[in-house]
Structure 1
């Protein structure tokens, strides 16, 4: 971390051909937005460990991180977002009601139809994800 900048992991969780997105709950920063699960990297924690912890805390799944695939700034400019692909092949989504108001497994096109979403999240699904998926 540099100065007051926070490192945040964003979990691009894949199951079959769908991605898990949540509607941020009342205890989350900027509630009401649809977004992939995410959270602050704690002191002494690797980004992979933070991703596994945040996914478990927010939606009750066991995530297996694959790779960091993109970096961006948060909508408020306070955080550096580390976008990681990960798999969550098994288990039911069990949302923490303080953090998650709703959850859905969606395609990229379905995500882009949700409202509201953060501009950076939209950019990921429009510009970055297609490059990861290839032709």
Structure 2
């Protein structure tokens, strides 16, 4: 199997760069500079999640070829896909992210196998490698542009409160367009306030309980209002405390299996796979 690896530095936090890698804008425009037309086969308002597929129309020797890939991982530090169909026997792509101060080092690796034996190996040298290197450069530039613009946004926090293997969800009462849908408790980070302090304050206001933040979950999520959503895990300070719906219609403890059954707000829905992993680990 042939392989190429490239690296690049992005002036944005790891979870923000991870979100830019998942964003459909990056997928659909990141390779336009080398003539590739891409289409995300998912809701364009969403970040890509495991199971989503992408279709790439690639110019090759004057004959357009179509490559279709499927997302298999979409975590803050790993984003990867595999071949579904196209002119390769095998094609795997993986980006790994490493925090470097307030910046992120992205290592991009593509591994492939052509169907043409020795002729394929010649093509690797003459054509495929050149095209893949160009694709890596173009994609990294697109991710950098998106991530660095998002890094300047104000932050909204969400809270995944986990207790006895279950997580707390709350059902919206308003506005009308969102009434009946589910979300995690949280809200805006106020000026001079840390994200962890915002988590504690919002849970006290919305649920009348005290919590202790225990770490970040998933990538950032860009919101339509120009802000970034960041999810924090938390635990109850008093294990016997009973959260109540102060501002919402209902609160409910759910397990990993129930996560996919609820009608989540779009911003929370794209992190369901990360929340499921959190519950399974606990």
User: For each residue in 1:40-86, what CA deviation from the matched residue of structure 2 results, as whole angstroms up to 9, or x when unmatched?
Assistant: 00000010000000001001111110012223225525221111110
Give the C-alpha shift of residue 130 in structure 1.
4.6
From 215, 237, 240, the counterpart of 1:67: 215
Once residues 21 and 130 of structure 1 are traced to their aligned partners in structure 2, the CA distance between those partners, rounded to angstroms, is: 13
User: For each residue in 1:105-129, what CA deviation from the matched residue of structure 2 results, as whole angstroms up to 9, or x when unmatched?
Assistant: 00122121012x1234233222x23
Once residues 262 and 175 of structure 2 are traced to their aligned partners in structure 1, the CA distance between those partners, rounded to angstroms, is: 21
Q: Normalised by the size of structure 1, how large is the TM-score?
A: 0.81
From 73, 83, 86, the counterpart of 2:234: 86
Q: Normalised by the size of structure 2, how large is the TM-score?
A: 0.41
**Equivalent in the alignment of 1:129:** 275
Higher relative contact order (CA 8 A, sep 6+): 1
For structure 1, the residue ranges without an aligned partner over 5 or more in a row are none
Larger Rg: 2
- Structure 2 SS opposite 1:52: helix
Root-mean-square deviation (Å): 2.5
The question of whether the paired residues in 2 share the 8 Å contact of 1:48 and 1:65 is answered with yes
The question of whether the paired residues in 2 share the 8 Å contact of 1:75 and 1:118 is answered with no
More helix per residue: 2
The question of whether the paired residues in 2 share the 8 Å contact of 1:71 and 1:80 is answered with no
- Structure 1 SS opposite 2:250: strand
Once residues 216 and 270 of structure 2 are traced to their aligned partners in structure 1, the CA distance between those partners, rounded to angstroms, is: 16
Once residues 176 and 195 of structure 2 are traced to their aligned partners in structure 1, the CA distance between those partners, rounded to angstroms, is: 20
For structure 2, the residue ranges without an aligned partner over 5 or more in a row are 1-150
1:1-135 equivalence runs, <5 A: 2=152, 5-26=153-174, 30-76=178-224, 78-88=226-236, 89-96=239-246, 99-115=247-263, 117-126=264-273, 128-132=274-278, 133-134=280-281
Once residues 205 and 185 of structure 2 are traced to their aligned partners in structure 1, the CA distance between those partners, rounded to angstroms, is: 10
Describe the shift of the 1:49–1:19 C-alpha distance in structure 2 as closer, same or farther (beyond 3 A): same
